[in-house]
Amino acid sequence: MSDSYVWFEGIRFPGSGFDPEVFREVRDKFVVKNEDTITVTYPKSGTNWLVEIVCLIHSNGDPKWVQSVPTWNRSPWVETIPGYEFLKDQEGPRIYTSHLPIHLFPQSFFSSKAKVIYGIRNPRDVLVSGYFFWRETNIFKIPETLKEFMELFLQGHVAYGSWFEHIRGWLSMRERENVLVVSYEELKKDTRVTVEKICEFLGKKLKPEEIDLVLKYSSFQFMKENKMSNFTMLPDSYVNENFSFIRKGVTGDWKNHFTVAQAEAFDKIYQEKMAGYPPKLFPWE
Ligand code: A3P
- Pocket lining for ligand 1, CB < 6 angstroms: 41, 43-49, 125, 129, 132, 218-220, 223, 246-249, 253
pLDDT for the residue 235: 79
| pTM (global) more than 0.90 | yes
pLDDT > 90? residue 245? no
Catalytic-residue membership of 157: no
Q: Which of 24-28, 71-75, 218-222, 278-282 has the lowest mean pLDDT?
A: 278-282
CATH of the domain at 272: 3.40.50.300
The tens digit of pLDDT for each residue in 266-279 reads 999 999 999 999 88
The tens digit of pLDDT for each residue in 109-121 reads 999 999 999 999 9
State the residue range of the domain holding 237: 5-281
Q: Whose CA is nearest to atom 27 of ligand 1?
A: 249
Structural domain tally of the chain? 1
Half-sphere exposure of 69 (CA within 13 A, CB side): 14
Ligand 1 atom nearest 41 alpha carbon? 7
3-state secondary structure the chain: CCCCEEEECCEEEECCCCCHHHHHHHHHCCCCCCCCEEEEECCCCCHHHHHHHHHHHHCCCCCHHHHHCCHHHHCCECCCHHHHHHHHCCCCCCEEEECCCHHHCCHHHHHCCCEEEEEECCHHHHHHHHHHHHHHECCCCCCCCHHHHHHHHHHCCCCCCCHHHHHHHHHCCCCCCCEEEEEHHHHHHCHHHHHHHHHHHHCCCCCHHHHHHHHHHCCHHHHHHCCCCCCCCCCHHHECCCCCCCCCCCCCHHHHCCCHHHHHHHHHHHHHHCCCCCHHHCCCC
Q: Whose CA is nearest to atom 12 of ligand 1?
A: 46
Of 145, 140, 105, 109, the residue nearest 128 (C-alpha): 145
The residue length of the chain stands at 285
The tens digit of pLDDT for each residue in 189-215 reads 999 999 999 999 999 999 999 999 999
- Which residues are within 8 A (CB) of 147 and not within 5 positions of it... i.e. 6 or more apart? 262
Predicted-assembly ipTM surpassing the 0.90 threshold: yes
Q: Whose CA is nearest to atom 20 of ligand 1?
A: 49
CA of 215 to the centre of ligand 1 (A): 15
